[in-house]
Amino acid sequence: MEIRAGAGGDEAGLFASELWRMYRNFAQRRGFKTEIIDSSQSDVGGIKTLVAQIEGADVYDSLKYESGIHRVQRIPKTEKSGRIHTSTASIAVLKEVPEKEVVINAKDIRTDTFRASGPGGQNVNKVESAIRITHLPSGIVVASQTQRSQLQNRERAMAILRAKLAEIEKEKSAGQMTSERKSQIGTGERVEKIRTYNFPQNRITDHRIGKSWHNMEKILDGNIEPIIETLAKNLK
């Protein structure tokens, strides 16, 4: 799973962190294993980007419809005039693919090493164990910095790259590929949305099926089964 703050500045980053908390809580309740692979935080504690691996039985089928732009409408804590702001975060859910299914030519990648960093950007390792891989033909950049060794981080980064390349091929075959959209991550603009979280009205609406749910606090706490089950029935 890849989460990115979109339009909306600090508020978008805070919303992105709430979405990650929602998915993490859902995963824990389901008995799924979660592990952050790469992340960067904003100055106010929100998420700029986060890449995580979620493992468990039927985990991809449970979360695949979460991919897209999520929009939040609420009054930020920093807003003194009480105006409702609109911010976005984008989610990509990619299925891990076997190495034999996506062959990556060694000449097509550039590998850079760097020191892993913790919250606030400080270096937490004295050695450059973190890995950043750039796929030259597509321009895709992936990174892993949470594993103990450079080799482990490289393996994890290559797994992410294979998943992204497989998704691109899947979209090409479905006729959905455009020059602007090279992955499930959209532009992050407010107009590209699959779901809106409206805090003043305590309502979550999925625009693909035109259905709304209330009790937002419970859903954001990880109880997203009603949404997942409804999407599974209507988007097959």
Residue-range domain boundaries for the chain: 2-93+184-234, 106-173
Is 3.30.70.260 the CATH classification of the domain at 106-173?
Answer: no
CA 207 to chain centre: 19
**Per-residue pLDDT, 174:** 63
**Per-residue pLDDT, 186:** 52
What residues of the chain score a pLDDT lower than 50? Answer: 120-124, 177-182, 187-191
**Per-residue pLDDT, 203:** 96
pTM of the model: 0.79
**Residues 85, 75 contacting (CB under 8 angstroms):** yes
CA atoms of 85 and 58, how far apart (whole Å): 36
**Which CATH number, 3.30.450.40, 3.30.70.1660, 1.10.3660.10, 3.30.1280.10, labels domain 2-93+184-234?**
3.30.70.1660
- Looking at residue 130, the DSSP 8-state letter turns out to be E
- Looking at residue 194, the DSSP 8-state letter turns out to be S
